């Protein structure tokens, strides 16, 4: 009997998803004679058995296409909105997998997807995952696909903002995606020559940022580009969040846990719109006109870069080979020019943040970029 595999894409979309679907599918069908189906809209499609047959013709012409032909969602198996309730639908997904007589299910996603995939693996399904996200924050892989494309888009945006900031003698604050991890803001900030880069891993002092801008002004450079990750925080905000998270981790009992969780959610909610407030503060502190540009979902859209197409294709093909060898319970991690299966337990629930002594941090400092600390 030929093997049957399912594929789903989950979490925020990212360039390279279709290249990965194609890589898995072409290798599975062409090299191993498997049958391949896709589930629509992430774990919800698995729960509802909404499928699409993936064959040579449906896999053709998608390599360069952005987004995901399967659709995606942020639904979680154990907390699925159904009608006006939120329910644990894990068993319905196990049933769906069994009804399709699957030999393996491949979940393409970021940190949340790795956790959800592990839940299904623990229910006895054969699960493999690929690491995708523009945030590059999945643990145990050198890099995630989607990151290189987003890095190119954010860098080009910073390049373009330079000329208008220069012409108008303005400060431009540019908000780059990345809630917990600052890879994208740091990478694009260095590549685009931002004067200040603020990332979640390095809480900032607004006075230090303002002084960096004033110093440039004194040297006759009356414009500055400040690249800020979505999740970058002032020292005070970061302290409050750290305390709230520590309290949540220690909370005993359901009620205390819920209250502590609500407190961290409230802090994140209060943080929304912080880049506008930052631009206003810097304007007040420096006397230089400032503007805010939020790059937002532009960073996730459109055709993948060559590097992402290559990465997604090779991880996809490696994944099909692992299924053929009956390997499961792993994420196919990028390791140098190759790949390596790593146990899902080692990935799920972990984030790859920018280490404070990372080469990119050192490089930014070496070229005189202010990191706000
Ligand atoms: O996929 C990760 C990410 O791009 C984060 O950087 C960003 O905070 C988030 O997605 C936005 O998600 P959504 O599209 O659901 O608003």
75, 42 in Cβ contact below 8 A? yes
Atom of ligand 1 nearest to the CA of 297: 14
**Each residue's pLDDT tens digit in the chain (373 positions)?**
899 999 999 999 999 999 999 999 999 999 999 999 999 999 999 999 999 999 999 999 999 999 999 999 999 999 999 999 999 999 999 999 999 999 999 999 999 999 999 999 999 999 999 999 999 999 999 999 999 999 999 999 999 999 999 999 999 999 999 999 999 999 999 999 999 999 999 999 999 999 999 999 999 999 999 999 999 999 999 999 999 999 888 888 888 888 888 999 999 999 999 999 999 999 999 999 999 999 999 999 999 999 999 999 999 999 999 999 999 999 999 999 999 999 999 999 999 999 999 999 999 999 999 999 9
SS (H, E, C) the chain: CCCEEEEEECCCCCCCHHHHHHHHHHHHHHCCCCEEEEECCCHHHHHCCCEEEECCCCCCCCCCCCCCCCCCCCCECCEEEECCEEECCHHHHHHHHHHCCCCEEEEEECHHHHHHHHHHHHCCCCEEEEEECCCCCECCCCCCECHHHHHHHHHHHHHHHHHHHHHHCCEEEEEECCCCCCHHHHHHHHHCCCCEEECCCCCECHHHHHHHHHHHHHCCCCCEEEEEECCCCEHHHHHHHHHHHHHHHHCCCHHHHHHHHHHHHHHHHHHCCHHHHHHHHHHHHHCCCEEEEECHHHHHCCCCCHHHHHHHHHHHHHHHHHHHCCCCCEEEEEECCEEEEEEHHHCCCCECCCCCCCHHHHHHHHCCCECCC
Return the domain boundaries, the chain.
4-145+304-346, 149-300
Atom of ligand 1 nearest to the CA of 11: 1
78, 119 in Cβ contact below 8 A? yes
**Assigned architecture for domain 4-145+304-346:** 3-Layer(aba) Sandwich (3.40)
Closest residue by Cα to atom 1, ligand 1, is: 12
Count CB-CB contacts under 10 A for residue 251.
16
Closest residue by Cα to atom 15, ligand 1, is: 12
What pLDDT was estimated at residue 113?
98
Domain 149-300 classification at class level: alpha beta
Atom of ligand 1 nearest to the CA of 135: 6
What pLDDT was estimated at residue 345?
98
What pLDDT was estimated at residue 254?
86
Instruction: Report CA(253)–ligand 1 centroid distance (Å).
Output: 31
Closest residue by Cα to atom 13, ligand 1, is: 12
Closest residue by Cα to atom 11, ligand 1, is: 12
Residue 205 appears among annotated catalytic residues = no
Instruction: Report CA(12)–ligand 1 centroid distance (Å).
Output: 6
Active-site entry in 13, 135, 137, 195: 135
Strand 4-9, strand 35-39: pairing = parallel
What pLDDT was estimated at residue 95?
98
* Pocket of ligand 1 from Cβ distances under 6 Å: 11-12, 110, 133-135, 177-179, 230, 300
Tokens of 362: 């050192």
Tell me how far apart the alpha carbons of residues 40 and 8 are, in angstroms, rounded to a whole number. 7
């Amino acid at each position: 009997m030929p093997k049957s595999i399912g594929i789903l894409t989950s979490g925020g979309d990212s360039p390279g998803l279709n290249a990965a679907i194609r890589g898995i599918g072409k290798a599975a069908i062409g090299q191993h004679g498997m049958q391949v189906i896709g589930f629509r809209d992430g774990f919800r499609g698995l729960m509802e058995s909404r499928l699409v047959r993936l064959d040579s013709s449906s896999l053709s012409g998608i390599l360069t296409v952005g987004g995901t032909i399967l659709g995606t969602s942020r639904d979680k198996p154990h907390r699925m909105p159904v009608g006006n309730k939120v329910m644990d639908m894990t068993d319905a997904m196990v049933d769906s997998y069994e009804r399709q007589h699957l030999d393996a299910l491949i979940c393409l996603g970021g940190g949340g997807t790795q956790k959800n995939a592990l839940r299904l693996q623990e229910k006895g399904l054969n699960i493999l995952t690929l690491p995708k996200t523009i945030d590059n924050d999945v643990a145990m892989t050198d890099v995630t696909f989607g990151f290189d494309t987003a890095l190119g888009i954010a860098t080009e945006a910073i390049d373009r903002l330079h000329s208008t900031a220069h012409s108008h003698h303005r400060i431009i604050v540019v908000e780059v995606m990345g809630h917990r991890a600052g890879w994208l803001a740091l990478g694009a900030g260095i590549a685009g020559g931002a004067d200040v880069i603020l990332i979640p891993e390095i809480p900032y002092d607004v006075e230090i940022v303002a002084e960096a801008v004033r110093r440039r002004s004194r040297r006759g450079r009356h414009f500055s580009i400040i690249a800020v990750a979505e999740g970058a925080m002032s020292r005070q905000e970061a302290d409050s969040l750290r305390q709230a998270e520590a309290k949540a981790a220690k909370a005993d009992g359901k009620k205390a846990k819920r209250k502590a969780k609500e407190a961290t959610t409230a802090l994140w909610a209060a943080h929304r719109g912080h880049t506008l407030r930052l631009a206003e503060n810097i304007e007040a502190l420096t006397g230089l006109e400032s503007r805010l540009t939020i790059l937002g979902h532009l960073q996730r859209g459109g055709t993948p870069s060559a590097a992402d197409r290559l990465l997604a294709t090779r991880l996809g093909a490696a994944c099909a080979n692992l299924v053929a060898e009956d390997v499961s319970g792993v994420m196919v991690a990028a390791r140098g020019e190759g790949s390596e299966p790593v146990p899902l337990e080692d990935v799920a629930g972990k984030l790859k943040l920018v280490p404070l002594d990372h080469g990119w941090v050192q490089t930014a400092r070496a070229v005189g970029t202010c990191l706000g600390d």
